[in-house]
Structure 1
Amino acid sequence: MKKKIFSKTGILIVGLIAGTVLAMLGLAQGRKNFWREAGPEPAIAFNAPQSFAPLAEKIIPAVVTVYTSRTVGPFEFEPGQFFFFFGPGPRKERGMGSGFIITPDGYILTNNHVVANADVIKVEIGVKDKKKYNAKKIGADDKTDIALIKIDAKDLPTLALGDSEQVQPGDWVLAVGSPFQFPHTLTAGIVSAKARHLGGPYDDFIQTDASINPGNSGGPLVNMRGEVIGINTIIVSPMGANIGLGFAIPINLVKSLLPELKEKGKVIRSWLGVGIQEITPELAESYGLKETKGILINQVNKNSPADKAGLKVNDIILEVDGKPVESEAQLRLLISSYPPGTQVRLKIFRDGQTIEKTITLEMRPEEGAEAEKIGRESSPKTVNILGVKVTDLTPEKAQMLGFIGLKGALVVSVSDESILADELAPNDLIVELNGREISSSRAFNELVANLSAGDLVRIRYIRSTPQGIYSNIFAFRVPKP
């Protein structure tokens, strides 16, 4: 009897569980997920290479180790070095890097920093049968860190130069070089990003997580076709060794400079003679630009090609010879790629209208002297609703800051709570507000006094730095009090 009772109870429990599960399944089937659920088939077909060996066999013979030495004076010491007991004397300083052969008769690409200031350059070629050659520097460009050297040889293995424009984040790449004196070290990774800027005027780096270490400089970054897409140049690491942040110069930039390096030994660049910055949505709105595009001119150098062609501060460059301008680096690289004397057409957005200007490019002049040191502050004026204290620019202050001939309101301090705290700094000279020139601190404060919460404001200021004078424009909305 007990067995029957337990059997009925068991059937009842199983029935309840089954009913609950079916009900839950019914609810689940009736409910629509707000995310995309993975299906039985992969979203994207992906075939990882089983081995890089065939590619490595093709690449490695054309990769070389570059050895350099130079004689340094008795008082040239690195931090942490000391005189030996016998006293100072001339000594040899040695360096090492990588490179790769691009012609059968011995032209080799490497980094400028690998061979700069070297008295002797030697190149080691070969995997099993190694041979050293004396090399000479044909040309170099310190702004892009590219060097072209040559050895006297024939029938050498070479690497083809590919198209770095076709590279996409996620592409497989190989890096080859001589890190820590281990020649022909091959590492694999992917392209992490493109168009990275690390502070140089012509930076346009390819970022990769392929292992790059000291000694890899000048070696090739290669795609899966065995073509060079970049020159391994820089790592970012707090420890001085690879942490997955490597950067390579795009090979298309290198190719654009190679003829000039071979023929002239250096790169002669053109310039516009303007200070530029990228457009923010707030700036675009303040200028009446429907899209956030183009590059804003915030400074025009006197007697520069831009000045002669009639370009103005607050002009927005949209195109150069029909090519859309998308970044500061792109514009600099584009202009510098033209020989001096070239006429280029610029499409400009000015005062709500699109106009065209033809400009004759000129050779880039040498950089000016460093700005003088900043002196003591003069008495500040009263603070305004933006939280900025300003004062008049005196002749003495103009002399100290390199602002001779300029007018404006000189920033004394910016409140920590001000919306401008991250933009303005003491000794910045505010020269324009919403397109109106500022001649004094009073003029600035009067304009600011008429602002209301929510107003869109555009300010142009000039800053003195150890590297020189530069201008910047930014826009913001007045916050609620």
Structure 2
Amino acid sequence: MTQKPDLGLLSLVRPRKLVSALMLGSALTMALLPQVLPAQEVVTPVQALTPEQSPVEMRPLSFADLAEQVSPAVVNITTSMLVAAPGGNNPAEGTPFEDFFRQFGPRSGEQAPTQRANALGSGFVISADGYIVTNNHVIADADQIQIEFFSGDSLPATVVGTDPNTDIALLKVEASDLPYVEFGDSSETAARVGDWVMAMGNPLGQGFSVSAGIISARNRALSGTYDDYIQTDAAINRGNSGGPLFNMEGQVIGVNTAILSPNGGSIGIGFAMSSEVVSGVVGQLREFGETRRGWLGARVQAVTQDMVGALPGLENARGALISDVPEGPAREAGLQAGDVVLTFDGATVTDSRGFVQMIGAAGADQTVTLGVLRDGETFDLAVTLGRREEAEGQLTPQGLPTEQSQYEGLGLTLSQITPQIAQQFNLGTDTGLVITEIDPASEAAARGLAVGDVVSDVANTPVATPAQVEEIVTAARESGRTSVMLLVRRGGDPRFVALPLE
């Protein structure tokens, strides 16, 4: 029987060092599972110790009671699928007989030989009637899924729904009165850096293994828009994917998903998707069989410190800056490019990443209230969100060209877009002004602007001619501003850049 390869390899290249981030995924069946012991009687979790006790006394003497409490709800997951046989249609590939088998082997169009491969992962039960959470990459492409419980019983499972964006899957077995665990609070106040945690799962096919450590860091992002990973030094290896990360009350605060490692094994840098994200995804999968995230229909970017002087009414770098408002819910509600969103339904928006996560978590067709800063004034704006899954990939056409001329200033030369210039710089738009020259010693160059970038707005005002830019920059200087904001597009992607007024 062929082992299923781990398909979640992600290489992160850093200066002078290659680090592999391995999605734990389905562990190779490397050894027989040990004999599973019967479930034990549920006992109370480890009691929290008082701050008056010494640091040595505050360390738990044992995780045994906690492990015994939650073990009956943790499961091993075995998946099975058909894969192409090694060598495909030519089993002699790479040998002196390669040409012989190519000539007399299966003819073109014939199906390549296949065989069945098994792989392992982890999961946990969240309801007495058999709903089970795991990672999407644990069960992806599987045509058979078998759940092994701590008691030794085994049941087949079906897929309720999956979310590749957060790598979460929801399974279901036909059962009743199953032991289960609940999601806990994974917020920064409840799950702090330095707090004890315990991981459980099926590392390297060994089955029902426990490891413990602390929360090493929070709010880690690996590759996804909705990433909110808890970093832990609890030992996590291949096969732990989909397993729970517990707090000391026996609640799930994360789903073990990935590790950073140069060799494929645990070096104490593991990542668990926070329960705050997972519980929302699981709720939608359970209700709809799919995710239905909210969609604002606007592009956003981070507010940086150098932008503060160009945004009246903003004292420090906070909130989310709206960089583009194509057709969609945001435009219908009156949101504009250059607006800074400070609150979302009363909750403070600290940065653009958190804002995007708030929108997605709110769900489709929900009406939310945004606290907006515009031209130094704040006001509330009600927006009815669309559904992201339906709206992804939609684009809005741009405007029309005007006459040619140039503006020189701010370390830039801006030219109107003619058909010839559009062809020269391979532009997908003819609205705005294109940067045709840039002073390499200027702040514009230092902040990443380049020849071929398109400036569509200056100080939140659309520009079509260099004369408009001159007028806006002059007015900004006379008003005492120290910098001016440019909306710059590169390859169709917009971002704001604040440039100092010389």
Q: Give the TM-score range, shorter chain.
A: 0.7 to 0.9
Q: Distance in 1 between matches of 2:198 and 2:254?
A: 10
Secondary structure at the aligned position of 2:456 is classed as: strand
Instruction: Between 409-418 and 177-186, report the one with greater CA deviation.
Output: 409-418
Task: Indicate how the Cα distance of structure 1 residues 451 and 353 shifts in structure 2: closer, same or farther if over 3 A, else same.
Answer: closer
Residue 3 of structure 2 corresponds to which residue in structure 1?
none
Alignment partner of 1:147: what SS? strand
CA deviations on 1:218-265 (whole Å, 9 max, x unpaired) are: 000001111111101122233333222211111122222323211221
Which residue number corresponds to residue 470 of structure 1? Answer: 493
Aligned residue number for residue 137 of structure 2: 113
Deviates more, 1:307-316 or 1:206-215: 206-215
Q: Is the Cα–Cα contact under 8 Å of residues 318 and 348 in structure 1 kept in the other structure?
A: yes
* Aligned counterpart, 1:167: 191
Q: Give the Cα separation in 2 of the matches to 1:75 and 1:405.
A: 52
Aligned counterpart, 2:275: 251
User: Per the alignment, do residues 446 and 370 of structure 1 end up closer, same or farther by CA in structure 2, a change over 3 Å counting?
Assistant: closer
Q: How many residues align?
A: 421
Report if the CA contact (8 A) 1:68-1:119 is conserved: yes
CA distance in 1, matches of 2:387, 2:296: 9
Alignment check: 8 A CA contact 1:124 1:132 kept: yes
Note if contact 1:203-1:329 (Cα within 8 Å) is conserved in structure 2. Answer: no
Q: 1:461 aligned to 2:488?
A: yes
Q: Which residue type is aligned with residue 494 of structure 2?
A: S
Deviation of 1:458 after TM superposition, in Å, equals 2.3
- Counterpart of 1:139, as a letter, is G
The farther-off stretch of 435-444 and 241-250 is 435-444
Counterpart residue number, 2:326: 301
Q: 1:352 deviation in Å?
A: 0.8
Q: 1:339: Cα distance to partner?
A: 3.7
Q: How far off is 1:395 after superposition? A: 3.5
Q: Which amino acid aligns with 1:325?
A: V
Question: In structure 2, what is the equivalent of residue 368 of structure 1?
Answer: 393
- Pairing of 1:323-402 with structure 2 (within 5 A): 323-364=347-388, 365-368=390-393, 388=412, 391-395=415-419, 398=422
Task: Check the 8 A contact 1:175/1:222 in 2, yes or no.
Answer: yes
Indicate conservation of the 8 Å contact 1:408/1:429, yes or no.
Answer: yes
Matches within 5 A, 1:424-443: 424-439=449-464
- d(CA) in 1 for partners of 2:378 and 2:395? 37
Q: Does 1:59 align with 2:70?
A: yes
Conserved? CA contact 1:386–1:448, under 8 Å: no
Aligned counterparts, 1:121-132, within 5 A: 121-126=145-150, 130-132=152-154
2:358 and 2:443 map into 1 onto residues whose CA distance is 38
Q: Does 2:239 align with 1:212?
A: no
Letter in 2 for 1:146: I
In 2, distance between residues paired with 1:268 and 1:52?
Answer: 38
2:443–2:499 Cα contact (<8 Å) kept? no
Q: Secondary structure at the match of 1:108?
A: strand
Residues in 1 aligned to 2:373 and 2:222: alpha-carbon distance in whole angstroms: 29
TM-aligned CA distance change 1:82 to 1:113, over 3 Å: farther
| Post-superposition offset of 1:309 | 1.0
Q: CA RMSD in A?
A: 3.6
Shift of 1:476: 4.4
Summarize the alignment of residues 65-80 of structure 1 with structure 2, pairs less than 5 Å apart. Answer: 65-72=76-83
Aligned to 1:181: 205
Letter in 2 for 1:200: G
Does structure 1 retain, via aligned residues, the 8 Å contact 2:87–2:93?
A: no
SS in 2 for 1:282: helix
Contact 2:303 2:351 in 1 (8 A): no
Residue in structure 2 matched with residue 50 of structure 1 by the alignment? 61
Structure 1 residue 329 displacement after superposition: 2.8
Offset of 1:144 from its aligned partner? 1.5
Helix, strand or coil for the counterpart of 1:187?
strand
Larger Rg: 1
Distance 1:82 1:54, change over 3 A: farther
Does 1:263 pair with 2:282? no
| C-alpha contact 1:74 1:90 (8 A) present in aligned 2 | yes
CA–CA separation in structure 2 for the residues paired with 1:231 and 1:107 = 15
Which of 1 and 2 has higher RCO (CA within 8 Å, sep 6+)?
A: 2
Work out the CA distance in 2 between the residues paired with 1:425 and 1:407: 15
CA distance in 2, matches of 1:72, 1:83: 20
Q: 1:449 to 1:385 in 2, by over 3 A?
A: farther
Alpha-carbon offset, residue 183 of structure 1: 1.4
Hey, what does 1:9 align to over in structure 2? none
- Aligned partners of 1:82, 1:112: CA distance in 2, in Å? 33
1:36-79 CA distances to partner (integer Å, 9 max, x unpaired)? xxxxx9997861111111112222232212122222457998xx
Distance in 1 between residues matched to 2:244 and 2:436, nearest whole Å: 49
TM-score, normalised relative to structure 2: 0.74
| Alpha-carbon shift at residue 116 of structure 1 (Å) | 1.8
- 1:434–1:457 contact (8 Å) kept in structure 2: yes
Contact persistence 1:175–1:219 (CA under 8 A): yes
What SS is found at the alignment partner of 1:59? helix
* CA deviation string 1:124-146 (max 9, x = no partner): 222xx533321110111111111
Aligned to 1:297, what secondary structure does the other structure show?
Answer: strand
Distance 1:76 1:461, change over 3 A: farther
- Correspondence for 2:25: none
Q: Which residue is equivalent to 1:421?
A: 446
Measure how far apart 1:398 and its partner are.
Answer: 4.8
Kept in 2, the 8 Å contact 1:196–1:207? The answer is: yes
Moved more, 237-246 or 264-273: 237-246
Taking a change above 3 Å as real, the CA distance of residues 405 and 64 of structure 1, as seen in their structure-2 partners, is same
Classify the secondary structure of the residue corresponding to 2:58: coil
Q: Distance in 2 between matches of 1:343 and 1:267?
A: 18
Query: Could you give the per-residue CA deviations for residues 278-306 of structure 1, whole angstroms, max 9, x where no partner exists?
Result: 2222212211212432211011112x101
Task: Using structure 1 for the length normalisation, give the TM-score.
Answer: 0.77
Structure 2 residue 125 is matched with structure 1 residue 101: yes
Measure, in 2, the Cα distance between the counterparts of 1:369 and 1:401.
Answer: 21
**2:155 alignment partner, one of 122, 133, 140:** 133
User: Does the 8 Å contact 1:164/1:250 carry over to 2?
Assistant: yes
| Residues 138 and 150, structure 1, Cα contact 8 Å, conserved in 2 | yes
2:309 is matched with: 285
Amino acid of the residue matched to residue 158 of structure 2? K
Gaps of 5+ in 1: 1-40, 372-380
Q: Is the 8 A contact 2:170 2:285 kept in 1?
A: yes
| Separation (CA, whole Å) in 2 of partners of 1:241 and 1:426 | 45
Counterparts of 1:227 and 1:249, CA distance in 2 = 14
Measure, in 2, the Cα distance between the counterparts of 1:228 and 1:149. Answer: 17
In structure 2, C-alpha distance between the alignment counterparts of 1:414 and 1:68, rounded to whole Å: 59
Give the % identical residues. Answer: 37
Q: Aligned partners of 2:117, 2:417: CA distance in 1, in Å? A: 50
Structure 1 residues 45 and 341: CA distance shift in structure 2, 3 A: same
Q: CA 1:397–1:231 in structure 2 vs 1: closer, same or farther (change >3 Å)? A: farther
Moved more, 395-404 or 242-251: 395-404
The one-letter code sitting in structure 1 at the alignment partner of 2:317 is T
